[in-house]
Amino acid sequence: MSAVPVQSAKQALRRAINRRLKAVPPAEVTQDSAAVVAHVLASPWYKRARNISCYLSTPTGEVNTDGIILDALNSGKSLFVPFCPIDEPTVMRMLRLRSVAHFEGLKLNRWGIRELDPEEVELLEDGEARSSRATPRTLLTLLTVEHESAGGLDLILVPGLAFDKQKRRLGHGRGYYDRYIEATQDYATRFNKPSPFTAALALRAQIVGEDEVLPTNELDKLPDVLVTPDEEIH
């Protein structure tokens, strides 16, 4: 499938999935999220991770990650969350939360998502790499001493709009995570380190049926594991 039909198919599926997710009762999101979080916290790949990237979840339509973030911070893990600068619409950085109080003090944006204060961003430790406008071979930015002190990320928890049982993922269309994961792989290659383990988190309503096609292209990155309320798909 060529690039244009793939993009058209993705847009059509996004509309269909968004309609489906709007109909999911909040209680179902809460129940599914609790089951996914329990899978994550019990997993060996989470337990051994020291530097974790986790998305800040929306109120509806995706797995709520508050329980993972609180557990990581309370367990002494380094927890990094995404920040997308307004003046750089294709850039995503991962910045470290200082504490539980820091997390709980984050203000909600107009979509009800916690977000970092742009005024404090440059005071926070950066995870390692950034997604950027650059071509795939030059996604990695210059690393600072802070990046090295963080040791690099070893687990990335990935959001998405829809998934299938083959771990294919449909994002929201901006490519932040695909670029960021590629950047971390470049980082790992450059410094002779393992690439971060990637785990995508999904509600039951986000899993497409066997009769639904989830379109992908060569830029789409498969996670190492897809975690649903019912299972882990490796």
**Tokens found for residue 228:** 């649903």
177 known ligand binder: yes
- What whole-number distance in Å separates Cα of residue 58 and Cα of residue 103? 15
| DSSP string computed for 110-158 | TTS-EE--GGGGGGSPB-S--B-SS-GGG-PPPP-HHHHHHT--SEEEE
12 known ligand binder: yes
- What whole-number distance in Å separates Cα of residue 128 and Cα of residue 67? 24
Per residue in 166-213, pLDDT tens? 999 998 877 889 889 988 888 888 888 889 999 999 999 999 988 777
Ordered domains of the chain (ranges, CATH): 3-229 (3.40.50.10420)
Q: Does the pLDDT at position 219 exceed 80?
A: no
Contact assessment for residue 161 and residue 170, using Cβ atoms and an 8 Å cutoff: yes
- In the structure, what pLDDT confidence band is assigned to residue 221 with cuts at 50, 70 and 90? confident
- pLDDT cut 90: percent of the chain above it: 47
Q: Specify the amino acid at residue 90.
A: T
175 known ligand binder: yes
8, 13, 89, 122 from 2: Cα distances, Å = 10, 17, 26, 41
10 known ligand binder: yes
Contact assessment for residue 183 and residue 131, using Cβ atoms and an 8 Å cutoff: yes
- In the structure, what pLDDT confidence band is assigned to residue 226 with cuts at 50, 70 and 90? very high
Contact assessment for residue 69 and residue 40, using Cβ atoms and an 8 Å cutoff: no
174 known ligand binder: yes
pLDDT score at 132: 46
Per residue in 67-88, pLDDT tens? 999 999 999 999 999 988 877 7
173 known ligand binder: yes
Mean pLDDT in residue range 81-107: 87
56 known ligand binder: yes
- What whole-number distance in Å separates Cα of residue 209 and Cα of residue 231? 16
Contact assessment for residue 72 and residue 52, using Cβ atoms and an 8 Å cutoff: yes
105 known ligand binder: no
Contact assessment for residue 124 and residue 156, using Cβ atoms and an 8 Å cutoff: no
Say if pTM beats, i.e. exceeds, 0.75.
yes
- What whole-number distance in Å separates Cα of residue 71 and Cα of residue 26? 23
φ/ψ of residue 158, rounded to 5: -110, 130
- In the structure, what pLDDT confidence band is assigned to residue 53 with cuts at 50, 70 and 90? very high
Q: Does the pLDDT at position 10 exceed 90?
A: no
172 known ligand binder: yes
Query: Which H or E run includes 52?
Result: strand 51-54
**Tokens found for residue 86:** 């307004």
Q: Does the pLDDT at position 144 exceed 50?
A: no
